[in-house]
Structure 1
Amino acid sequence: MRPLSDRMPKPLIEVGGRALIEHHLFGLHAAGVRDVVINQGWLGAQLRDRLGDGQRYGLHIAWSDEGWPALETGGALRRARPLLGDAPFVLVNGDVYTDLDWAALLARAANWDDAQRAHLVLVDNPEHHPRGDFSIADGRVVEPAGEQRLTFSGISVIDPRLLDGTAESAFPIAPLLRAAAREGRVSASHHHGLWSDVGTPERLTALRARLQSTASVPKA
């Protein structure tokens, strides 16, 4: 997203009249969430200045400072672990946009199988990621992945026990997910609605145009 991301964190990029992360916050609040932990990474002070304690969104926001260099998703979660509690939690990348039904995802977290370690929301493979990430069979992620792979949306439910045995350092979360999937402990669902990984100026332009077009369609 350079040069835009050189001066602001990607979650603060605006689409549809709000910052990307604000769409998540309002959607999660509407689904019943009241407590949120936000990882403060690149230019994180701007994020914290904008969102504050979460009161304007009807939420309580706790902040976890990733610092620099980046810890990757796994390392950032490991650092935030004391704030996350012991129950499964919804994990959302701050730089994606979606029309996902948050209430359905929260219901899944509330009715958690004790043997499970994660639930992944997968989407159709976008043009920039044609080979996908994970395969589904009977609602479970299978490893090794088959030919019909889908893309991980950056949205999931994580059981904190997935992080057991990890050290406080930089590491990706994908190897933990794959290891748990080999044990049959990772479920998945296929989201067929709107999803965009706002990773380039071109994708940002396309998303803004799509949202503007949708908003301009007159309602019956």
Structure 2
Amino acid sequence: MMQAMIFAAGLGTRLKPLTDRIPKALVSVGGEPLLKRVIFQLKDAGFTRIVVNVHHFSQQIIDYLRVHDNFGMDIRISDESEKLLETGGGIRKAWPLFNQSEPILIHNVDILSNVDLKKFYQMESRDMIAARLMVSERKTKRYLLFDDSMRLVGWTNIETGEVKSPYPDLNPKDYKMYAFSGIHMVAPSLFPLMEEEPDKFPIMDFYLKHCDKVRIEGYVKNDLKLMDVGKQETLKEAEAFLKSLVSSL
């Protein structure tokens, strides 16, 4: 069984004024809501169970899925209407809705890509890792740091010089720097470590806190095409990007 979670609870502040009346998940790109695009990418890859977390205009998302009969899939709602739990808290709250013996692929609702989600989910080394992060060489201020075996060791902001790592005196220049893509996979073995966390916590801080205890690895797709359409400037470019994805298939 292949299962996934779509992060759809965010406030979508970068997409205002659109998100003053609808949730980011229902913003249309190329004539289809972002949520539908991610659902069908997962469905086409062979995923059968999806959990969608909701908060901002949550009922609109619930109604949208109901009207479309969950697109013929086992889609479950993790309701964060009362309190937005951030990414880590959201994953932990959704955990009882999953088959707890299988990994979970996590996908931001505002990411469009050419990632082979089935391959990413089923890679051979998955039994030995606690999490796998899709990363790329795109330019940004904030980078994840990996050793030569692509094990996560830290994070840095190259503009401010800030470093986060469980390893003291880590020098970012000694490690590979990659940007996170918004697509990752978590193994069941990671969830016991979440029990000590507060209700609300970011998953990336959690990964960085525990990357010295469990193997959290990065995966680089050399021909990656990926766009974060969670902001106004990229939303305008998204249609052309979708056409480029189709032409590259």
Do the two structures share a fold, i.e. TM-score over 0.5?
A: yes
Assess, with a 3 A threshold, how the Cα gap between structure 1 residues 31 and 214 changes in structure 2: closer, same or farther.
closer
User: Hey, what does 1:131 align to over in structure 2?
Assistant: 142
Report the Cα offset of residue 133 of structure 1. Answer: 3.0
Question: Per-residue deviation at 1:20?
Answer: 1.5
Matched residue SS, 2:184: strand
> Alignment partner of 1:91: what SS?
strand
Q: Following TM superposition, by how much is the alpha carbon of 1:83 offset from its aligned partner in structure 2, in angstroms?
A: 0.7
1:210 CA displacement: 2.9
Task: Identify the residue that residue 132 of structure 2 maps to in structure 1.
Answer: 119
1:189–1:53 distance in 2 versus 1, CA, 3 Å: farther
1:21 match: secondary structure: helix
Contact 2:114 2:245 in 1 (8 A): no
2:178 corresponds to which of 137, 143, 150: 150
Separation (CA, whole Å) in 2 of partners of 1:54 and 1:133: 38
Matched letter for residue 187 of structure 2:
D
Residue 161 in structure 1 maps to residue 184 in structure 2: no
* Aligned-residue offset at 1:25: 1.2
Task: Tell me the amino acid that sits aligned with residue 99 of structure 1.
Answer: N
Superposition CA RMSD, Å: 2.5
Which residue of 21, 26, 30 maps to 2:35? Answer: 21
Q: In the alignment, which of 74, 85, 101 is matched to residue 88 of structure 2? A: 74
- Structural mapping, 1:196-215, within 5 Å: 196-212=227-243
Task: Please tell me the residue identity of whatever aligns with 2:207.
Answer: L
CA distance in 1, matches of 2:235, 2:68: 25
Is 1:46 aligned to 2:57, yes or no? no
What residue is the counterpart of 1:102 in the other structure? 117
**Residue 212 of structure 1: CA displacement?**
4.5
In 2: Cα distance, 1:134 partner to 1:84 partner:
30
Instruction: Report the CA distance shift for 1:65/1:107 in structure 2 as closer, same or farther (over 3 A).
Output: same
Corresponding residue for 2:12?
none
| Residue in structure 2 matching 1:8, options 16, 22, 38 | 22
- Among the aligned pairs, what percent are the same residue? 29
Q: Secondary structure at the match of 2:126?
A: coil
Q: Which amino acid aligns with 1:137?
A: D
Partner residue in 1 for 2:3: none
159-168 or 183-192: which moved more?
A: 159-168
Deviates more, 1:94-103 or 1:156-165: 156-165
One-letter amino acid matched to 2:186:
I
Gaps of 5+ in 2: 1-14, 155-164
SS of the residue 2:143 aligns to:
coil
CA contact (8 A) 1:122 1:150 kept: yes
Report the CA distance between 1:72 and its aligned residue: 0.2
Q: Mean alpha-carbon deviation: is it higher for 175-184 or for 80-89?
A: 175-184
Deviations 1:29-77 (A, max 9, x none): 1111111111112111111111228745331101110123311011111
How many residue pairs are counted as aligned between the two chains?
213
Given that residues 136 and 149 in structure 1 are in contact (C-alpha distance below 8 angstroms), is that contact kept between their aligned partners in structure 2? no
2:239 maps to a residue whose letter is R
Gaps of 5+ in 1: none
**Residue 205 to residue 35, structure 1, CA distance change in 2 (3 Å):** same
Aligned twin of 1:92: 107
CA contact (8 A) 2:144 2:152 kept: no
Say if 2:27 and 2:34, in contact at 8 Å, map to a contact too. yes
